Amino acid sequence: MSLTDRLVLDTSAYSHLRAGHVQVLDHVAGAALVVMPVTVLGELEAGFELGRRAQENRRTLAEFLDEPFTSVMEVTAATVRHYARIFAGLRRAGTPIPINDVWIAAATMECNGHLLTFDGDYRRIANLDHTLLDAS
């Protein structure tokens, strides 16, 4: 992947970033802006609630979000329209994916971003600019 203006991290990419995955680190270092959709923050917070290090994880995430190269993307009316188009297209094709992934894809499209993920479900979304990494 070449340098991108807006790199969008899904939950799997953020988790691998925290684990020091070299490819994720390289992508983040090459991005002008790293975008975190609010849906990803919700998934992370749910994981923190279920884990044993909730406060530490929240503090680390807050520090990451405070970096000048990061931005949180809220859901907008335009995001909702992208969501509806993606959801309907997947449903018509008989290839639904988890709803949160549809929201993350919609946010990526809305900000004209490039999604970084380890989740193969995103391959089902037409015209989604993304990189699918291997966890190994």
Domain extents in the chain = 6-132
Q: Measured between alpha carbons, how far is 126 from 32 in angstroms, rounded to an integer? A: 25
* pLDDT on residue 1: 39
Task: Kindly report the pTM of this predicted structure.
Answer: 0.95
pLDDT tens, residue by residue, 2-59: 457 999 999 999 999 999 999 999 999 999 999 999 999 999 999 999 999 999 999 9
3 state SS of 88:
helix
* pLDDT on residue 4: 72
Listed in sequence order, the DSSP H helices in the chain are 11-18, 22-30, 38-50, 54-65, 77-93, 99-110
* pLDDT on residue 120: 96
- Could you report how far apart the first and last alpha carbons of the chain are, in Å? 18
Q: Which CATH entry fits the domain spanning 6-132: 3.10.110.10, 3.50.50.60, 3.40.50.1010, 3.30.1360.20?
A: 3.40.50.1010
- Among residues 80, 38, 43, which one has the least CA distance to residue 88? 80
Q: Measured between alpha carbons, how far is 65 from 74 in angstroms, rounded to an integer? A: 14
Query: CB neighbours of 41 closer than 8 A, spacing ≥ 6?
Result: 61, 72
